[in-house]
Amino acid sequence: MKTKITKLFNIKYPIIQGGMIWCSGWELAAAVSEAGGLGLIGAGSMYPDILREHIIKLKKATNKTFGVNLPLLYPQVDEHIQIILDEKVPVVFTSAGNPKKYTAYLKSRGVKVVHVVANSKFALKCVEAGVDAIVAEGFEAGGHNGYEETTTLTLIPTLRPMIDIPLIAAGGIGSGRAMLAAMALGADAVQIGSRFVASTESSAHINFKLKVLEAKDGDTKLSLKELVPVRLLKNRFLEEVEMAYHHKANKKDLENLLGHGRAKRGMFEGDLEEGELEIGQVSASIHDIIPADEIIQEMIADYRKALKNMPIL
Amino acid sequence: MKTKITKLFNIKYPIIQGGMIWCSGWELAAAVSEAGGLGLIGAGSMYPDILREHIIKLKKATNKTFGVNLPLLYPQVDEHIQIILDEKVPVVFTSAGNPKKYTAYLKSRGVKVVHVVANSKFALKCVEAGVDAIVAEGFEAGGHNGYEETTTLTLIPTLRPMIDIPLIAAGGIGSGRAMLAAMALGADAVQIGSRFVASTESSAHINFKLKVLEAKDGDTKLSLKELVPVRLLKNRFLEEVEMAYHHKANKKDLENLLGHGRAKRGMFEGDLEEGELEIGQVSASIHDIIPADEIIQEMIADYRKALKNMPIL
């Protein structure tokens, strides 16, 4: 076994595909798990029945380890958890909430539990809660993000000496070189979101996938910090948000502007102007839409090549 | 020679000590150059006569390559440049301005020129201007910063395929592991600021050095974006700035609040409450004040150890 994480999940490569609303259904998760990584269904955008359907399809598509990512901020969490237990999902990644709430219960039922954090305070809380591993996600990540704006390059070295359990780096990683960088910082694995948005199997709308390929550095922004900070690709909706800030919008104004269903509209229905487009800064380095297993094979090949060519000092 | 940068500057290790106002005088630069890196005098906080004095003392203290960092936003740039030429400074790092303005002139007089950028647009402008190398500095860096908020982990892989000249990574790097990460991303060297603030030879006030040791993750913030974005350690002054934002301060209000001499007051005179304390996110991982040559020796030892222990995938 190569790292603590490949051992923990019994997977070939230390690559986790991050759970992403509207982009990571059973097809993507199955492709990633089949290719030797750990695929996660993103439950955040799924009603309980839909989640069950995805889990059942995923189990038919692969015998390898898979998981579900469960943001704890949605109202139907308890129903989701019941389905996860009924369907014997082996791994759950929780995020956006208190790790103490569900970890012990899930673990008592044989589920491996990982929690996503963005700072050292919550990392220590996770250890107390008894999680099996931690995802530490930096400021450059797409979608929901931390308040402290700590980047992956500084977050991982801060957490590494503080915790003994396995540590997964997330945010800004989309290539074998970046994976090598994360492992150099002390991570035991990487969690990758944006790169998998632009995969054949991702359930993102083709308009959104193609838009990701066009992104340049500086084309994303961490916004809506008064609600939940979220990194978005610049578009007309984000301009409207910026205009609202310019006019000194308060929290209520922002909630009204955001409304309901913005994320679905953008990422799943392909409305690039009025939808919410969640993607990380690493989008500036994504230039093609390829199958998930090719993404993983490319990453491993790049990792090996870069490691061989590191300067000897 | 180990990398394009060690060759360019004829130095032993690909480690540049970043020019920092009030913290990097001749003593720090001499210690770094003597230890095998490239030491830079930070001219941003120096009147022309003071800069000349520092250069003369530095030349007496070492025969190795050294340089001057020159932010182009201060009014006395032309005088600084004349002194740099008079005193035959071999290397100049310019920042905070247009690389096309001085590069050709300096190069025609035999000076090696490096420019600091935070995005791909300016990186390409640097190549056109004929610089010898580029520093690409991420969002996590202390002090003056870019508008796009692109982190080091995503900036370096974005720029690497776009430019052929040597690339120096900056922002968030304070250990051998982080140096290894930067090299994995394709950098030819690293520029390090914050770690050298907490060195014996830094001219930072001891109060400020000790304050840096206490910093935890989340204790810095990129602020004053309407003026020039600057990453500061949280203190009473930053609280006053936050309060001003809360009261919808405009640019003029912020300029008045900042006033003059805040940076000197904080970093050089040690007023931790009312001064401006410029430091990077990597401060969360800085735990001791040691001589610059020990910092460099530790980094190289950590780099070698981490490289040897990288997971083979």
Across the interface, whether the CB atoms of B221 and A178 are under 8 A apart is answered no
Across the interface, whether the CB atoms of A280 and B154 are under 8 A apart is answered yes
Q: Which pLDDT score is estimated for B1?
A: 54
- The whole-number mean pLDDT for each consecutive block of 10 residues of chain B, a chain of 313 residues, reads 92 98 97 98 96 98 98 93 98 95 97 98 98 98 97 98 98 98 98 98 98 98 95 98 91 93 97 98 98 98 97 94
Across the interface, whether the CB atoms of A154 and B177 are under 8 A apart is answered no
CA distance B78 to chain A (A): 32
Nearest to A310 among B172, B184, B313 (CB): B184
Residue among B263, B220, B308, B305 nearest B74 (CA): B263
Tokens of A232: 């978005």
Best mutation target among B4, B120, B151, B177 (most A Cβ atoms within 10 Å) is: B151
CA distance A82 to chain B (A): 36
Tokens of B165: 């000249």
Across the interface, whether the CB atoms of B313 and A120 are under 8 A apart is answered no
Q: Which pLDDT score is estimated for A1?
A: 54
Across the interface, whether the CB atoms of A172 and B151 are under 8 A apart is answered yes
Q: Which pLDDT score is estimated for A75?
A: 87
**Bridging pattern class, strands B66-71 and A220-223:** unpaired
Residue among B90, B80, B164 nearest B124 (CA): B164
Dihedral sign (CA A50, A52, A54, A56): negative
* Whether the Cβ atoms of residue B37 and residue B15 lie closer than 8 Å to each other: yes
Nearest to B281 among A120, A154, A216 (CB): A154
Query: Distance (Å, rounded) from C-alpha B245 to C-alpha A23?
Result: 36
Assign domain B4-203+286-305 to a CATH class: alpha beta
Residue among B230, B199, B233, B196 nearest B214 (CA): B233
Beta bridge partners of B312: none
Query: Distance (Å, rounded) from C-alpha A176 to C-alpha A297?
Result: 9
The residues, any chain, with a CB within 8 Å of residue B125's CB and separated by 6 or more, are B98, B99, B100, B117
Nearest to A303 among B177, B186, B313 (CB): B313
Beta bridge partners of A41: A68
Across the interface, whether the CB atoms of B2 and A312 are under 8 A apart is answered yes
Element (H, E) at B39: strand B39-42
User: Which of chain A's residues have a Cβ under 8 Å away from the Cβ of B313?
Assistant: 2, 13-14, 300, 303-304
Query: Distance (Å, rounded) from C-alpha A177 to C-alpha A69?
Result: 26
User: Which of chain A's residues have a Cβ under 8 Å away from the Cβ of B134?
Assistant: none
CA distance B311 to chain A (A): 6
Dihedral sign (CA A277, A283, A289, A295): negative
* Whether the Cβ atoms of residue B162 and residue A284 lie closer than 8 Å to each other: no
**Bridging pattern class, strands B39-42 and A143-144:** unpaired
User: Which of chain B's residues have a Cβ under 8 Å away from the Cβ of A300?
Assistant: 313
- The single residue listed with the structure tokens 């939808």 is A275
* Whether the Cβ atoms of residue A79 and residue A48 lie closer than 8 Å to each other: yes
Helical H segments across B88-205, by residue range: 103-108, 120-129, 152-159, 176-184, 194-197
Across the interface, whether the CB atoms of B138 and A153 are under 8 A apart is answered yes
Q: Which pLDDT score is estimated for B46?
A: 96
Q: pLDDT 10s per residue in chain A (313 long)?
A: 589 999 999 999 999 999 999 999 999 999 999 999 999 999 999 999 999 999 999 999 999 999 999 999 888 999 999 999 999 999 999 999 999 999 999 999 999 999 999 999 999 999 999 999 999 999 999 999 999 999 999 999 999 999 999 999 999 999 999 999 999 999 999 999 999 999 999 999 999 999 999 999 999 999 999 999 999 999 999 999 999 998 989 999 999 999 999 999 999 999 999 999 999 999 999 999 999 999 999 999 999 999 999 999 9
Homologous superfamily of A4-203+283-308: Aldolase class I (3.20.20.70)
Q: DSSP for B179-247, please give it.
A: HHHHHHTT-SEEEE-HHHHTBTT--S-HHHHHHHHH--TT-EEEE-TTSS-EEEE-SHHHHHHHHHHHT
**Residue B126: CB atoms within 10 Å:** 27
Across the interface, whether the CB atoms of A313 and B306 are under 8 A apart is answered no
**Rounded to the nearest 5°, which phi and psi values hold at A34?**
-60, -35
Across the interface, whether the CB atoms of B154 and A312 are under 8 A apart is answered no
Element (H, E) at B251: helix B251-258
* Whether the Cβ atoms of residue B264 and residue B208 lie closer than 8 Å to each other: no
* Whether the Cβ atoms of residue A231 and residue A142 lie closer than 8 Å to each other: yes
Q: Where are the domains of chain B?
A: 4-203+286-305, 215-282
Q: Which pLDDT score is estimated for B224?
A: 96
Query: Distance (Å, rounded) from C-alpha B170 to C-alpha B199?
Result: 18
Q: Which pLDDT score is estimated for A141?
A: 98
Q: How far is CA B216 from CA A120, A148, B136, in A?
A: 9, 11, 25
Nearest to B151 among A148, A281, A306 (CB): A281
Which residue of chain B is at minimal alpha-carbon distance from A1?
A: B313
Beta bridge partners of A71: A95
Nearest to B217 among A158, A173, A311 (CB): A158
Which residue of chain A is at minimal alpha-carbon distance from B162?
A: A285
Q: How far is CA A252 from CA A66, A75, A96, A236, B313, in A?
A: 39, 20, 21, 20, 49
Residue among B246, B249, B241, B233 nearest B194 (CA): B233
Supply angle C-alpha A68, A72, A77, rounded to 5.
75
Q: Which pLDDT score is estimated for B152?
A: 98
CA distance B88 to chain A (A): 30
Query: Distance (Å, rounded) from C-alpha A97 to C-alpha A247?
Result: 31
Across the interface, whether the CB atoms of B14 and A313 are under 8 A apart is answered yes
Query: Distance (Å, rounded) from C-alpha A160 to C-alpha B139?
Result: 21
Across the interface, whether the CB atoms of A175 and B153 are under 8 A apart is answered no
